[in-house]
Amino acid sequence: MFKKVLIANRGEIALRVIRACRELGIGTVAVHSTVDADSLHVRFADEAVCIGPPQSKLSYLDTRALLSAAEVTGADAIHPGYGFLSENPAFAELCEKLGLKFIGPRSEMLRLMGNKVAAREAMEKAGLPLLPGARGVLSDAVEAEKIARQIGFPVILKAAAGGGGRGMKIVREASAVAKAFEAASAEALASFGDGSMYLERYIEEPRHIELQMVADEHGNIIHLGERECSVQRRHQKMIEEAPSPAVSPELRREMGEVALKAMRDIGYNNVGTIEFLLDEKGRYYFMEMNTRIQVEHPVTEQVYGLDLVRLQIKLANGDPLERTQESVVPRFHAIECRVNAEDARTFAPSPGTITGYHQPGGYGVRVDTMAYEDYRVQPYYDSLVAKLICWGDKREVAISRMRRALEEYVIEGIKTNIPFHKRVLDHQGFLTGRYDTRIVDQILSAGADAIPRPQGKS
Catalytic residues, which ones? 292
CA pair distance 423, 309, nearest whole angstrom = 31
Pairing mode, if any, of strands 207-215 and 4-7?
unpaired
Yes or no: say if 154 and 170 are a contact pair by the CB < 8 Å rule: yes
CA 79 to chain centre: 16
Pairing mode, if any, of strands 197-201 and 155-159?
antiparallel
- Residue 130: CB partners within 8 Å, gap ≥ 6? 120, 123, 124, 200, 285, 286
CA pair distance 50, 330, nearest whole angstrom = 42
Q: What is the residue type of 363? A: Y
The C-alpha angle 335, 339, 344, rounded to 5 degrees, equals 115
- Residue 343: CB partners within 8 Å, gap ≥ 6? 350, 415, 417
- Residue 308: CB partners within 8 Å, gap ≥ 6? 212, 214, 271, 293, 297, 300, 301
CA pair distance 443, 233, nearest whole angstrom = 11
Assign residue 74 a region (left: φ > 0; alpha: ψ between -120 and 50; beta: otherwise): left
